[in-house]
Amino acid sequence: MSSTSIALFVSVFLACSVEAVEAVTIVLAAGTARDWKSAGRGVVAGVITLAVIIGAFGPAISHLPISVLCVVVGGLLLVFGLTWLRKAILRASGFKALHDEDKIFQEEIAAARAAGKGAKHGIDDWYAFTLSFKGVLLEGLEVAFIVLTFGTIDHNVGLASLAAVIAVLIVTGAGFALRAPLSRVPENTMKFVVGILLTSFGIFWGAEGSAGASKKWPGDNWAILGIIAFVALVAFVLIEVLKIARRKPVASKTKATSEESAVEELEREYNKLISGIIGFIEFWIDFIVGDDWRIAAGIVASFIITATASASVLIWGTIPLFTAVFLSYSLSRAVKSTR
């Protein structure tokens, strides 16, 4: 098995495990606090909808020219990976609370119990159905994206699918066997590692696609190991810098971000159709642009420079450098907003 295949399997497995933990937590909350039958139907409906979407758009991905596919997938993976990595760095440095599945589970339970009861379209508990449906569909879309993109570019959809299936089965089986959130899963560490891996693959594929099909990374596929090491080093350096900055006394004030307020509001209004539509649209905006548009803009700029450059150092060095710079800049803005 090649280095890229090993990295692909690990990346897909860890990413899908994280998504599965979040989906299972939502479904468990819907079933425990409301109605298991309705929650189960929501899961089935979510899986069917997901299958239709994959069946409709999945084959189209494989027909894209490889250079176009690399640019599109590389860009999305960079946005996706840097979003996870940015939050993981903030958590590791103490500027953001650690992700707590127990707390999230209890919050989902409280919201579910507070929501009004009502049957719709033959479903005994419409709230439980929609909560499970949305959780499975949104988390499942991210799983499908990771599997299809990684598998198609590496010409190994089977391996990516196997990693995803194993991850989902393990997490789902453990979650429902215990009937509790998987709080012992080191999700914060997993998100940190996945953020590094997705960002690294985004750099690798984005640079190759921007440079053109005739150009390959120095060292070919083995370059991915060097990129992973570079991204990991940048992440650990930023964590230490932020830890030092956090120890400095500053006048701080409590400030809830508009993003957090919006999320809380959507959670309280799950049972309304309009909130589901808004949440679905916001999911895709966040998925494509990320939680900081400046990072997305920097990625586009770095791809353009890579595509137009002739010097080897610019072709292969621009995207990694832009990634480090814009991640640092985005983190500095996030830290300032907390003070």
Q: Mean pLDDT across the stretch 17-33?
A: 82
At 49-84, the pLDDT tens digits run 888 887 877 776 667 677 777 888 788 888 888 888
Instruction: Please tell me the predicted confidence (pLDDT) of residue 123.
Output: 78
Instruction: Please tell me the predicted confidence (pLDDT) of residue 255.
Output: 47
Place 231 in a pLDDT band, splitting at 50, 70 and 90: very high
At 167-196, the pLDDT tens digits run 888 888 887 777 666 656 666 777 888 888
Q: How far apart are CA 149 and CA 137, in angstroms?
A: 18
Instruction: Please tell me the predicted confidence (pLDDT) of residue 337.
Output: 67
Comparing C-alpha atoms, which of 142, 246, 147 is closest to residue 191? Answer: 142
pTM here is 0.64
Residue type, 228: I
Instruction: Please tell me the predicted confidence (pLDDT) of residue 232.
Output: 92
- The first and second tokens of residue 159, run together, are 């391996």
Inform me whether the pLDDT recorded for 212 exceeds 50: yes
Instruction: Please tell me the predicted confidence (pLDDT) of residue 233.
Output: 93
Bridge partners, residue 76, by sequence: none
At 274-290, the pLDDT tens digits run 455 545 555 555 555 55
Q: How far apart are CA 106 and CA 19, in angstroms?
A: 18
Q: How far apart are CA 254 and CA 186, in angstroms?
A: 28
Domain ranges of the chain: 3-337
Q: How far apart are CA 153 and CA 160, in angstroms?
A: 11
Q: Which of 38-47, 59-68, 123-132, 133-142 shows the highest mean pLDDT? A: 38-47
Instruction: Please tell me the predicted confidence (pLDDT) of residue 102.
Output: 62
Inform me whether the pLDDT recorded for 157 exceeds 70: yes
φ/ψ of residue 252, rounded to 5:
-115, 160
Q: Which helix (H) or strand (E) holds 14?
A: helix 3-33
More confident residue, 181 or 267: 181
Instruction: Please tell me the predicted confidence (pLDDT) of residue 188.
Output: 74
